[in-house]
Amino acid sequence: MLSLVGFMVPLPVYAVDCFTENVGKAGHVCLEATTEMAFVYVPDGCFKMGSPEKDMERGNNEDPAHKVCIDGFWMGQFEVTNTQYRRFKPDHSSRDFDGYSLNRTKQPVVYVNWNEADAYAAWLSEQAGGIYRLPTEAEWEYAARAGSTKARFWGSRADAACRYANVADRTGKKVFPWMTSHRCYDGVRSTAPVGRYLPNAFGLHDMLGNVWEWTADWFGEKYYAKSPRNNPKGPAHGRAKTLRGGGWSNGPDLVRSAFRRRHGPKYRHNYIGFRLMRESGSTTPIKQGDAP
């Protein structure tokens, strides 16, 4: 008979950490250790995705407004910063724009294409355990609206943006006259350090403005007409990826919760960054030898 005395069977050990302990607690914030990235728990819920017909600003690809339900998940509280991205690619530069730096530590990383954003998520999942990825387009809009049914999470008025978002504003228009400006001052001409402005009702910062954020989904012009109700993942195939949120150089038309932009997965620009989400049920395995 085989004795088990002195024979250690290695069992998977999972950390009872912030992420696993606090699933379901809306608004709870946990820090990921490798990058010190903060994630906020976004609870289960349903919402109207897209723009209603009465919204005069809506674009053709924002309808039909349709009910979507999302499982709870951890959403990045801020856009990924230059410092956080450089843990992955130390020599990455976000450059400058017309003499204004985009490359400081707390500014959001820009000049990352979709493939690189996706690779960053895979790298972090490997480093940290758990599943980190780009949010789907539906997860993004659910998180951005945070219960709001208006065009922007703070309401309908575009010109109220400057307390909540870094947009094309009168500060920027003074030096960049080509801007279609909001009629307010947000104090920043290029990208702002993440978290400078007021959050939405979920506690998420910069969901509108600052930089456009890559989502996981292929862009589907007519996808809303056939989208499944629960956790839609976008078309199975496509040529371009969907971006959301508007950026520092955009006027009111584009800085709305429902606005959809697209670019090919190799496209990069000074207005494009991203944020990550962490899947709610994913666990953090402890390396052998670590204390539980």
Q: Which residues bind Ca ion (CB under 5 A)?
A: 166, 169, 172, 186, 188
- The nearest distance, CB 174 to Ca ion, in angstroms, is 11
Helix residue ranges, H only, 35-184: 82-86, 114-128, 137-145, 170-175
61, 144, 266, 92: CA torsion to nearest 10: 160
User: In Å, how far are 62, 65, 154, 267, 282 from 55, measured between CA atoms?
Assistant: 10, 11, 15, 30, 38
270/282 with CB nearer Ca ion:
270
- The nearest distance, CB 100 to Ca ion, in angstroms, is 11
- The nearest distance, CB 181 to Ca ion, in angstroms, is 9
Report which DSSP code applies to 254: T
- The nearest distance, CB 215 to Ca ion, in angstroms, is 23
128/255 with CB nearer Ca ion:
255
35/166 with CB nearer Ca ion:
166
124/179 with CB nearer Ca ion:
179
Question: Listing from the earlier edge strand, what are the strands of the sheet with 212-218?
Answer: 260-263, 241-244, 212-218, 272-273
55/169 with CB nearer Ca ion:
169
Collapsing DSSP to helix, strand or coil, 115 comes out as helix
116/206 with CB nearer Ca ion:
206
**Kind of pairing, strands 212-218 and 241-244?**
antiparallel
- The nearest distance, CB 206 to Ca ion, in angstroms, is 12
Q: Which of 246, 240, 247 is nearest to 266 (CA)?
A: 240
- The nearest distance, CB 112 to Ca ion, in angstroms, is 21
How far is residue 83's CA from residue 81's CA, in Å, rounded to a whole number? 5
How far is residue 46's CA from residue 43's CA, in Å, rounded to a whole number? 10
